Amino acid sequence: MTFRLSTPLRYSQTLTLAALAGVMVAIFIADTVTDYAIAAAVFHTAVILIAARILPPRLVVILAVACVALTVLSFALTRSGSYDVGIVNTGISIVAIGVTTYLSLRLVAAEAAAHESRERLLRMARVTSLGELTASIAHEVNQPLAAAATSAGACRRWLEQEPPAIDKAIRAADRMVEQTERASAVIARVRGLASGKPPQKSAFDFNALVHEIVAMARDQIERHDIHLRLYLQESLPPVMADRIQIGQVVGNLLINAIEAMAVSTGKARELDLIAEVDGPGFVRFRVADKGPGFRPGEADHLFDAFWTTKKDGVGLGLTICRSIVETNGGRIWSQNNEEGGAMFLVSLPAAAETVS
């Protein structure tokens, strides 16, 4: 066991040390004026226990040595009672002081080590949270930024034509503006989600949201030759949730399904998006693909942070989806598609009022 040199005592520690010295003197007097049969020196252990909680280890050792010295001196000054009993009681008191000092210092050292470990874990958790937040933002803004880049390329092609297609170029520029604004909103929402801010809930037309997300993913759907089928129930009640956050969920599930079918071969690339009433007060959204589906045990980890089946995946998309859905009062789960492939289901609370 090693002790570091103590720093200058604080005022409260000085008072404590003075009080303990007074108690030690009182015990010494009581031990001296009584006969050998009364082992009053054992009460020095209480001084050690108090000192170990407040004073530096070096001072605790000094106090323990002082207690032992007072015990021996008291034995030498005592004049009444059995001398043999006094020797035994003095030995017991010295052993008790020594053992108490050793165990108290070990306990304090163990508590300090545990406190240091907790601090280290807390620092690690903060670093991990920062990393998760950074990765989350990078993951979520990838879609709108990719869409903005596509629109920028289209805008340039329309302008380079002879004569330039000004109207089409303007529409492409408008899409760029929309996507960059969406990226900015996504960053704000992810930061709010990470900091525990409540979602900005409002009633919105879920079918309209699905159409918007599908329009943004249209290029990828066509590039991978995917046959998309929309089954959006008419007169679907509006959803009460944060529209931008739910848009992130729909976009993530749609892109995941596209990427799952893009790597599968020999299967029909069919993707179904279904929105329907899910019992009283809820709307259910299903994304059913014809990709490879889930391997055994895979479904148990789909929503775990940084767990992914993709070669270049981050492993945060579904984690964010679950966090968003649950924060908005809903539920998300997955299962194998009976027709082959995977299926993700989201249940969201419906709003009482209607959306115009």
Whether omega for the bond prior to residue 163 falls within 30 degrees of 0, making it cis, is: yes
Q: How many CB atoms lie within 10 A of CB 125?
A: 10
Write down the mean pLDDT value for the chain.
82
Residue 158, pLDDT > 70, answer yes
Cα dihedral 43→47→52→55 (10° resolution):
-170
Work out the burial of residue 228: count CB atoms within 10 Å of its CB; fewer than 13 is exposed, 13-18 middle, 19 or more buried: middle
Residue 159 structure tokens: 């302008």
| pLDDT tens track for 20-58 | 889 999 999 998 888 888 888 889 899 889 888 888 888
| pLDDT at residue number 68 | 92
With contact defined as beta carbons under 8 Å apart, do 189 and 141 qualify?
Answer: no
| pLDDT tens track for 78-135 | 888 888 888 888 899 999 999 999 999 988 888 888 887 776 666 655 555 555 556 6
Residues 6+ apart with CB under 8 A from 305: 132, 315, 316, 319
Phi, psi dihedrals of residue 223, rounded to the nearest 5°: -60, -35
With contact defined as beta carbons under 8 Å apart, do 303 and 326 qualify?
Answer: no
Beta strands in the chain (DSSP E): 202-204, 227-232, 239-241, 270-277, 282-288, 331-336, 342-349
Higher pLDDT, 236 or 294: 236
